[in-house]
Amino acid sequence: MTQVASRADGRRAAGQRSRAAILAIAVDLASSEGLEGLTIGRLATEARMSKSGLFAHFGSKQGLQLATVERAREIFTDEVIAPALGAGQGPTRLCGVLNAWLSYFERGVFAGGCFFIAASSEFDDRGGPVRDAVDGAMEAWIEFLEQLCAEAVADSAIPAGDPGQLAFELNAIGIATNWELRLRRNADAIPRARAAFERVLAGGAA
């Protein structure tokens, strides 16, 4: 029985590694070509796997899309949110998140730029589970920014203001940064974004 269980555990671990490797390719493809372009056949070609092998992991195109959104959300959390969570409270944490976000843009964590900015544009006028998953990820991000802004205001570290408005403006700067970097190839995008963040947090207009 122990040997049988060990073999089963080994198969599960191998399956998890295979799924992780597939999704690493999927998030980059989707950031560059869109989630709608992410099909079992397209991914099978890129991953050098059979369609049946991919189907066993995800079941359908929609299942693949949803898994890709979830994996992109995990990567974004690891890259932008997690590094700042241990950086203290209030303004220190807010500044840590904003710096990590700029680094995420600058390093091109996803091959096609910010996964969620691309997916938001692609699915903003659609309905369905994939659109809901993208919207849920973005809503959680905005709520997190708003929470950090509220903490910073409560600490009197930044001028009093509506945390929701501050989060809106900071997020707008991030969207513009991705556009400047990816579409316009603007080498000044990161320093301009940093200056805009500082202006908003100092109480000025973005």
Q: Which domain holds residue 185?
A: 2-201
| The model's pTM | 0.88
Note whether 150 and 164 are within 8 A (CB). no
Q: Provide the 10 A C-beta neighbour count for residue 94.
A: 28
Flag whether 206 is in a domain.
Answer: no
Three-state secondary-structure class, residue 167: helix
Give the per-residue pLDDT at 149: 92
Tens digits of residue pLDDT in 75-88: 999 999 998 887 67
Q: Identify the CATH number of the domain in which residue 75 sits.
A: 1.10.357.10
Q: Provide the 10 A C-beta neighbour count for residue 201.
A: 21
Note whether 80 and 97 are within 8 A (CB). yes
Give the per-residue pLDDT at 150: 93
How many structural domains comprise the chain?
1
Indicate the burial class of 181 (C-beta count within 10 angstroms; 0-12, 13-18, 19 or more): buried
Three-state secondary-structure class, residue 77: helix
Flag whether 160 is in a domain.
Answer: yes
Flag whether 124 is in a domain.
Answer: yes
Q: List CB contacts of 124: < 8 A, sequence separation 6 or more.
A: 131
